[in-house]
Structures are given as structure tokens and as C-alpha cells.
Structure 1
């Protein structure tokens, strides 16, 4: 799917307080769907948690179709400190953790940014890409607890959240367990004519498989 292509999702239809899991094979457009959902923040406020690329690159991808001057973006970088030979410093807009396995550090940073937006009366949306990387560093129980706490904070703040998970035949248990935490599931699959999606548990997209 190329940039600028419309998807069958209605990102604005994701209710405040709810979180959605976007699950499917690798390289099927899940990150773009996450950007669409987070990009529906009516107050143009976003918290981006990146476990696959550094914060700057992830932020640039999110803002590539949006006017950056209109957006307040806060980022949590799970990559740069482990990849860089130089000391990586935090800023007011970017917080770094040692790795995608530092679930406590991610939770603390996310809570701080959420408090910032909450007190500024800006309805932020949170996007995390990807839970699969976290599962490479931490066991399923810890990741489940982390997501349970974070989605609870999203609910109590009146924000909304989108998380991605790469699915394989080997991690079906992870999908089954983690799905229980979320209000809705966007399933993605790769077909001959391209990726398709369907939405379970929400009214912001098609319930039947639809190309995008």
C-alpha cells in the first residue's frame, strides 16, 4: 500500500478511552494503519512508542502526511541507546529506554507524556509499534501486564490507543492472550491482490475482509 492511499478504516470512529490491537503478518501495512488511527486525534496530540526504529525516523513517518506545525508529538525510543555508540540524551519530546524489554521504563515515560497532555486538556492518541519486539525481550506474562496497565491509563485519561503485533503460526498464544486486553482487533492478512483487513469488536471499520 502506498502513501496517500485511503483505507477502509474510519479512524475518527475509534471511541475515546478505547485501545485497538492491529495484528497480522509482517509487512502487511500495520504501521500505516496505526498512523491513521493515531492521526485521528482531534487535538493533534500523539505519543509514539517505537521498538523497531529510532524515534526520529518513526516520527517522520507519522508526520509525512500531516502538517508537523499542527502536531504535538512525544516519542519513546526503545532502539537508539542499544544501537548508538554515542550517549543518547533525553529531551522534552523524546525519552529513551535501554531496550524494548525495559517495560518499566516505557511505562514511566508514557505516563509522563500522558500526564502532560491530560493537564493541557489535549486528547492524545498513543501508538506502539510493535509488541512483537517486546515479546523478544520479555515473556508473555510481563508484556500482558504492561499492556493491561497502559490501556487502563489510556481509558482513564479519555485518550485512545493503537498497538501492532506481528502474527506467526508460533505466536498464536500471544495473540489470543493479548487480544483480551483490547477493546477491538484489526486483523490484517496478505492475499494475492494485496492486504486485507477486518475489524472485530468495533464500529470504525468493515467486519468483512476488505482490500486496502
Structure 2
């Protein structure tokens, strides 16, 4: 069964994606990439889907607060991998798991595999994953190492019929980096901020021609 994306993603782009889909969410800093991903997770939570967030920017407690504002569903399954080693997650034991730094790709992978087992044990077979962000990881690891890690990570999502969304800031990287990482994803949601204000979004990939730019706000 497809994953409905909700009203956050304008209908001309895609109102749903199939199980196993991995999406690159590309846009400049402060363009709302994380908010978009959390809204898609929250929409799923209201339908009984589980949520997993990997954060390499802000602490797990902050991400959890943002998520709960969007998805106040008490019984929702949510797990967060905090890769910045932040403190203040003590009252979220069992929800937030920490690794030492965004460069600890092995640790992130181990925690993700443990969450996969935990979700299965709790009878949760539909999961939406948000990764914030690949740009932060590229400050710690080189492109080749990140590509190998993401190849395994996205294949895990695909094999379990989950969906994944991965944020990146294209302005922070050479075109070669973006082009290389694009190979790992089924499609891209591109966000831009025009000079006259507002935000616009379009979709590329997903087996279709690029869509037109449409308002996101």
C-alpha cells in the first residue's frame, strides 16, 4: 500500500509514493526541509505509521519536541537517532538513541538496525524515515564513504518497504557531490526561495518528467 504524503507536499508533485521509495529533499539553508519531512512523518503517524528521525544538526530532544508539535499522537511509534552526542535526552530513554558524532556512520547504522528489530517486535511494519541532514555528515566524512553508507541505508529502507527522506543543502556542495548522491534516490523534492519571497517546490525523478515549480507556502 502506498504512503500518502499529506497536504504538505503539493498534489501536482506527488500525493503518495510506493513502499521502498527513497527521496532526496534538496534546498538551501532555512528553506524548511526538516519541517517538510516531519510533516510527512506526522501525517503517517495519524494513520498508524511509525517514524524514525536521524539528526545530525540538532539534539534528539529538540527534534522530538518538533515532531510532537506536528504529531500529537500518544500511541505513535517514534525513534530518534541523535548523532551529535547531545545531552538532555535522559527523559526520552527508549525514544532517543545517541551516537558520538555525525562521522560515526557505523554507530548510526547499528542504531538503525536495532530500531528495525524493535519496530518488528512492536508489530510496526510501516515506517517513515527522515534524515537531517546529509550536508552535516559531509562535514565529517568524504563523499565516497558517505555513498557506501547510504547505499546500505537506503537499501534497508527499500527492502523493508518503508520510505526515506534525506535532506541536503545543494549550495554547500560541488555539483559532483549532488550528482553522485542523486544516484541513490528514486526522486528529488527540490525547494527554492525566489528573490521576491515565499518558497517553491518541484519534483524530479520518480519515473516522470520534472514537474513545474509550485508554491510551497
TM-score, length-normalised on structure 1?
A: 0.86
Structure number with the bigger relative contact order (C-alpha 8 A, sep ≥ 6) is 1
- Runs (4+) off by over 4 Å: 9-12, 86-90
Query: Which residue number in structure 2 is paired with residue 112 of structure 1?
Result: 114
Q: CA distance change for structure 1 residues 87 and 94 in 2, over 3 Å: closer, same or farther? A: closer
Question: Structure 1: which 5+ runs fail to align?
Answer: none
Q: CA distance change for structure 1 residues 163 and 125 in 2, over 3 Å: closer, same or farther? A: same
CA separation in 2, counterparts of 1:209 and 1:165? 19
Q: Does 1:54 align with 2:56?
A: no
1:118–1:157 contact (8 Å) kept in structure 2: no
The aligned runs of 1:147-162 (5 Å cut-off) are: 147-162=150-165
Query: Which residue number in structure 2 is paired with residue 77 of structure 1?
Result: 82
Give the drift of 1:147: 1.0
Query: Which residue number in structure 1 is paired with residue 130 of structure 2?
Result: 127
Q: Does 1:202 align with 2:206?
A: yes
Match of 1:103 among 102, 105, 121: 105
Match of 1:164 among 153, 167, 185: 167
1:12–1:37 contact (8 Å) kept in structure 2: no
2:8–2:40 contact (8 Å) kept in structure 1: no
SS at match of 1:197: strand
CA separation in 1, counterparts of 2:207 and 2:9? 15
Query: Which residue number in structure 1 is paired with residue 3 of structure 2?
Result: none
Give the drift of 1:179: 0.7
CA separation in 1, counterparts of 2:106 and 2:189? 27
CA separation in 1, counterparts of 2:108 and 2:14? 25
Query: Which residue number in structure 2 is paired with residue 177 of structure 1?
Result: 180
Give the drift of 1:153: 0.3
Question: Structure 2: which 5+ runs fail to align?
Answer: 1-6
Match of 1:44 among 26, 38, 49: 49
CA separation in 1, counterparts of 2:92 and 2:149? 22
Match of 1:145 among 144, 148, 164: 148
